[in-house]
A = this chain, B = another copy of it.
């Protein structure tokens, strides 16, 4: 029989939410995905488009995002060799999350602004 517990079980929701947060955690991953998605393909462009992002952090986050198959790194064999970053189709599945976060942020700022 089941062990007595006084609390309500919320694992059905908490577990997948935590799984998602593990993929998109940190300050930078979603901003980078947004920037690449909007058309910034070059390392320097991505860096310039996001305030406060340092090259070290960008390089690390790009690697993480590549591993999760959200971004692909394309080497263009030209003289000089160029490197281009693109979203994978899978990254598009993050759109509902990005829109939800964006909407909430816009609304939250309104709320705070009207209060004070």
> A: which residues have CB within 8 A of B?
5-11, 13-21, 23, 25, 27, 30-31, 34-35, 38-40, 42, 44-46, 48-51, 90, 93-94, 96-98, 100-109, 111
CB <8 Å contact, A35 and B49 = no
- Which chain B residue shows the least CB distance to A31? B14
A71 to chain B, nearest CB (A): 15
Decide yes or no: A106 and B34 within 8 Å by CB, A6-B45, A8-B39 being known contacts.
no
User: Known: A14-B50, A38-B10, A46-B7. Contact between A20 and B96, CB under 8 A?
Assistant: no
Residues of B within 8 A of A101 (CB): 16-17, 20-21, 97
User: Closest B-chain residue to A30, C-beta based?
Assistant: B17
Q: How many copies does the complex hold?
A: 2
Known contacts A7-B46, A49-B8: A15-B105 contact under CB 8 Å: yes
Decide yes or no: A10 and B34 within 8 Å by CB, A17-B101, A96-B100, A109-B19 being known contacts.
yes
Knowing A10-B40, A40-B7 are in contact, say whether A102-B49 is a contact too (CB < 8 A).
Answer: no
- Closest residue on chain B to residue A99 by CB atoms: B100
Residue of B nearest to A29 (CB): B21
